[in-house]
Amino acid sequence: MSGGAANFIKCGSVLVTGANRGLGLELVERLASGGFSPGKIIATTRNTATAEKLQELAEKHPNIHIVTLDVVNQDSIEKCAADVAQLVQEEGLNCLINNAGINVVADFHSVTAEKMIENFHTNSVAPLMITKAFLPLLKRAASRGALAGSKTMSIQRAAVINMSSLLGSVELNWGERGNTFKWYPYRTSKSALNMVTRCMAVDLEPDGILCMVIHPGWVRTDMGGSEAPLSPEESISAVLSVIGGLTEKDHGSFLNFTGEQLPW
């Protein structure tokens, strides 16, 4: 086990959005069974009735709590925040992982305003609205951490981790790389998520809440497709190792799943 993964043991609670399949489900499974399980793993999904794999996991691991959340519905966000407040009580929420995302594929010729807005709503606007709704719980965890003597930023105290993508990097979308994946809605929604994260990093720093974006690699999920080089296990064990080892110096950063800085 790496030093980063070992750090994760001390984290009291983690919330993962879009946890019924793909990387979100893998995150929950790894957190529950990886030997560094947080006290409360809050797995959100927009449809609990059809989330069979998640339900099977929750039956095996009593620290998994399934909560309904449709990330593009404000009422659902507020209801979820109220449900989670009941679960975590005075301990607050240590780590919010905004993982849910969609890829509305459209190139220059097929893109429409509706396709752009749909992708923006899920990938850029929702993580901001969810973070705003959970801010009281994140602040509570950060203050408790400070009272317990932890003045630096880390996921053991309070953190917002946004799942971004290399495809959102403006600097990397040039030359040969610019010729592949000409997806206007997805790429721009992830660039916007990166900026949302940088803005939140500035605003939440006084509260001691670490904010960053991570690229999970190209992974074999419904979104990544079968050609992707990484399995969900490979991606998420690396992602958790990076997240577990985050410190003050990673606040406001854009990191690869391997831990290196990525160009914005």
Of 39 and 225, which CB lies nearer to ligand NDP in the complex structure?
A: 225
Residue 119 Cβ vs ligand NDP, minimum distance, rounded to whole Å: 10
Of 145 and 224, which CB lies nearer to ligand NDP in the complex structure?
A: 224
Cα dihedral across residues 59, 46, 21, 170: positive or negative: negative
Measure the CA–CA gap between 192 and 168, rounded to whole angstroms. 8
Residue 127 Cβ vs ligand NDP, minimum distance, rounded to whole Å: 9
Of 74 and 89, which CB lies nearer to ligand NDP in the complex structure?
A: 74
Residue 232 Cβ vs ligand NDP, minimum distance, rounded to whole Å: 8
Residues of this chain that interact with ligand NDP (CB under 6 A) are: 18, 20-24, 46-47, 69-72, 99-102, 122, 163, 165, 215-216, 218-219, 221-224, 228
Question: Measuring CA to CA, which residue among 111, 101, 128, 122 is closest to residue 185?
Answer: 111
Of 13 and 221, which CB lies nearer to ligand NDP in the complex structure?
A: 221
The C-alpha angle 148, 236, 199, rounded to 5 degrees, equals 60
Q: How far is CA 234 from CA 78, 192, 228, 229, in A?
A: 33, 27, 12, 10
Of 126 and 142, which CB lies nearer to ligand NDP in the complex structure?
A: 126
Question: Measuring CA to CA, which residue among 255, 152, 130, 149 is closest to residue 205?
Answer: 152
Token pair, residue 197, equals 């994260």
Residue 222 Cβ vs ligand NDP, minimum distance, rounded to whole Å: 4
Residue 156 Cβ vs ligand NDP, minimum distance, rounded to whole Å: 24
